[in-house]
Amino acid sequence: MPRPKHSRRRVSEDAYARHKSELDLTHGMHLSSVRAASVILAVGIVIIALFNAQGLAKWAQSLPQNPVADWTVLASFQWQGWMQALGTAEIFDAVREAFYALRRLPSL
């Protein structure tokens, strides 16, 4: 029996090749774009950790119970205590209250 010209495997490889650009989320991105996104993400995480330690502690408490989550909860509470001692918690609260005050202003 002669083998078909296009085997099933070859057809699926062709289909993958045609749609590769649709599947590749980084298509068209330059390495500098990835680096910039990484830096932005890292800075955002640091800012959240410094100024919203209370939110971090609440998030840790919502994790499913297991040894890693238990450690994360304890570490987040310790981190929250350090940030309160540094005074960053008050900065976050002041900024949040300023935004709430802006939202309560009548629109123009």
| pLDDT score, position 57 | 92
Task: Name the pTM for this structure.
Answer: 0.57
Report the C-alpha gap between 36 and 44 in whole angstroms: 12
Report the C-alpha gap between 16 and 8 in whole angstroms: 12
Could you read off the pLDDT of 23-33 as tens digits, one per residue? 666 666 666 77
Sign of CA dihedral 13, 17, 19, 24: positive
Report the C-alpha gap between 29 and 52 in whole angstroms: 32
Could you read off the pLDDT of 55-108 as tens digits, one per residue? 999 999 999 999 999 999 999 999 999 999 999 888 888 988 999 999 998 876
Other C-beta atoms within 10 Å of 80: how many? 20
Domain ranges in the chain are 8-104
Q: Is the CB of residue 34 less than 8 Å from the CB of residue 26? A: yes
Helix H or strand E segment including 30:
none
